[in-house]
Structure 1
Amino acid sequence: MQEEPAVDAPRSPVAQDVARRAGVSTATVSRVLNGSAGVRADKRAAVMRAAQDLGFVANGAARALSTRRFMAVGAVVPNIENEAFVRLLSSFQERLRQAGYTLVAANAGYDLEDELREATFLLERGIDGLMLVGDIHHPALHARIARHGIPMVQAFTLSQERPCVGFDNAASAARAADYLMDLGHRRIGVISGLRKDNDRGGARVRGVAGALAARGLRLAPEHDIEISYGIGGGRDGFRQIMAGGPPPTAIICGTDQIAFGAMVEARARGLDVPGDLSVIGYNDSDIAPFLTPALTTVRIHSAEIGRAAGDQLVARITGRPALRVTEIAAELIVRASTAPPRRIAP
């Protein structure tokens, strides 16, 4: 039987091919692919375009060994379904991509053990930086980050010790409570998601309680409800409030979805929002302005936080100076779900 002649496999493009097509030196190609500073924007764009046209794929493992850079950044968030975290990750990724880095994200489900497991996996596979949410983490996590020698930034919180981009959760909730009290409300309730290992949720409840105390009022235990997240959780939380004696005339909810659930349950019980019950949410989600009535909410500038966290982390990765704390204040957005109470509660 006659053997067929061997056919040489097509050669994969190499850095010299990219340089030739882009009209730059191989050293410039190397600097672009390694994310180094000091490359003109037009040359960087030409290199990336040439690499894409040729189907060039850099040898990441070899590059990491020689440069100690992986061109990847990790992020672990508590709940990938939360719209605020989706916005955070989207804008964070945009900033990383502009700097030549790829985002690898994971969901921890508000569980510190799971957060540790996901972050450890990212660290062991190789990342140049890490974003976490909040200031409460497993005791072993910071030690592992330090052993790998990479920078870290925390989002949605203001830390006394660690690099962070966020806002004052307690102060933002206090502003919401003050607004309700200025309208005449005296019995104010809270429906929040899980607070265990969640410094944001706990701080917001403390902010409401502190604002009430400053005016000689109190957050009644029967009006302080902790539930699971989501619209169903909001309905359940409002049922619990209604079972606890004289109901509040206003409630502050941990998310807009919880607020929506509370409004649905209130309407099912024949209550008018805002006539019988004022409702405030958190996050200013896309649905908030379109609810009936439109939802008053605390707007968290999630996308801006993500961009600032990306800028801060890239600066630290590349050895440039960066602020340790960046505050991006939340703001109260007043819509139609809040109004003075029909009768000022004693």
Structure 2
Amino acid sequence: MSSSHSSAASDTPVARTRRRSGRAVLGDVARLADVSTATVSRVYNEPDKVSPSVRERVLQAAAALNWIPNAAGRALASTRTHIAGAIIPTLDDQVFASQVAGMQAVFAERGITLFLGCSNYDPAQALIQVRAMLARGVEVIAIVGEAHPPELFDALKQARVPYAITYAYREGSPHHCIGFDNRAAFVAIAEHLLALGHRTFAAVIQPARDNDRVQARVAGIREALERHGIAVRPSHLHEGPATIAFGRQSLRAIWQGADERPTAIICGNDQLAIGVLLEAAELGIKVPQQLSVTGFDDVAIAQQIHPSLTTVRVDTAEIGRRAARYLLDVLDGKEAAESGLVQPELMVRESTARVRKAD
């Protein structure tokens, strides 16, 4: 009799679940952490409503039991999926990796998982990625740049999913932008070189098609030069992959052309500028005595290369953090508390100097 009673007592739902699956369940975590099952759910669904000490106890219990909350069950129980999305143009550029890292750090504090999509600078791919994320229940999305088809923004509005445009900031944009003014940043670069007496310019830039950031950068260069009655000659404007190799190839083509040689080259990013510097050394061109070179992004090697590169630093991790905080505020029904404008900083180094008159 006692044997039968003992067997019945041990045949609880939790015990049955453990025997069938070999996995811990929510009740096991609650018992080990000495809290209610509701508190365990709250730690994962509304972590800011649980004290840090209790939250830590529950997380430690879950880790000890190797228990992971079921995402589908959480979504049904709370009408929340706790998933955010981010669409970036490429995985090959550290500026976007830095932005994603900043975003993920903020989302993780709220128990939100970040899904990442890569468009490869193709607006059609970005639309496919957004639709896939919406189908999986993302609650908010961050998207790099404004140059996307109207269908993308229509899909977000129809699904009532808050979104933010990142890495670009434009007054008058119909979207909430978090980033910097690309046009103004390149006006500042051009004006720095103009102040040094440069009047013959070249530009080596990334492909402008379907890329509003590059289009704004070219507009900034042209705007600054036009104030001085200057334009970049077509043979001095090279557009192509954002790589060291294309930077090298572009300088060789510019220097070997029949036109008057430029005294300054504005590059769309540091990779291109580093390519120009390397090719200049190969061709025996003295930088900055014969040629001033500027980049953009301030990657780690920009300060280490010789001559060190004059470039622009943008806190891309801060862009990611601000984007995540803004989207969380929208989810919480709060007004955005901070500006979306991040100010870039011109880093003047050895690769630019005042024009030296020819002997």
**Residue matched to 1:230:** 243
Alignment of 1:152-163 (within 5 A): 152-159=163-170, 160-163=173-176
What SS is found at the alignment partner of 2:340?
strand
> 1:157-194, CA deviations, whole angstroms, 9 ceiling, x for partnerless residues?
11411122101111111111111111111112211101
Contact 1:96 1:103 in 2 (8 A): yes
Q: In structure 2, what residue type is equivalent to 1:169?
A: N
Q: In structure 2, what residue type is equivalent to 1:164?
A: C
What SS is found at the alignment partner of 1:298?
strand
> 1:108-164, CA deviations, whole angstroms, 9 ceiling, x for partnerless residues?
111101111122222212211111001111221111112222111111111411122
User: Which stretches of structure 1, 4 residues or more, deviate above 3 A after TM superposition?
Assistant: 7-11
Alignment of 1:57-206 (within 5 A): 57-159=68-170, 160-206=173-219
Contact 1:91 1:304 in 2 (8 A): yes
Greater relative CO (CA pairs within 8 A, separation 6+): 1
Contact 2:85 2:115 in 1 (8 A): yes
Structure 1: gaps spanning 5 or more residues: 1-6
Identify the structure with the greater helix proportion. 2
> 1:47-81, CA deviations, whole angstroms, 9 ceiling, x for partnerless residues?
22222222111121122123232111111111111
**Residue matched to 2:15:** none
Q: State the distance in 1 between where 2:228 and 2:33 align.
A: 68
**Residue matched to 1:337:** 351
1:46, CA displacement in angstroms?
A: 2.4
Task: State, as a whole percentage, how many aligned pairs show the same letter.
Answer: 37
Q: In structure 1, what residue type is equivalent to 2:51?
A: R
1:9, CA displacement in angstroms?
A: 4.1
**Residue matched to 2:67:** 56
Compare 223-232 and 42-51 and name the one that shifted more: 42-51
Residue from 214, 238, 247 that aligns with 2:261 = 247
Q: TM-score, with normalisation over the residues of structure 2?
A: 0.89
Structure 2: gaps spanning 5 or more residues: 1-17
RMSD: 1.8
Q: TM-score, with normalisation over the residues of structure 1?
A: 0.92
Paired residues in the alignment total 338
**Residue matched to 2:11:** none
> 1:272-297, CA deviations, whole angstroms, 9 ceiling, x for partnerless residues?
11111111101001111111111110
Compare 63-72 and 151-160 and name the one that shifted more: 63-72
Residue from 275, 283, 290 that aligns with 1:276 = 290
Q: State the distance in 1 between where 2:72 and 2:325 align.
A: 25
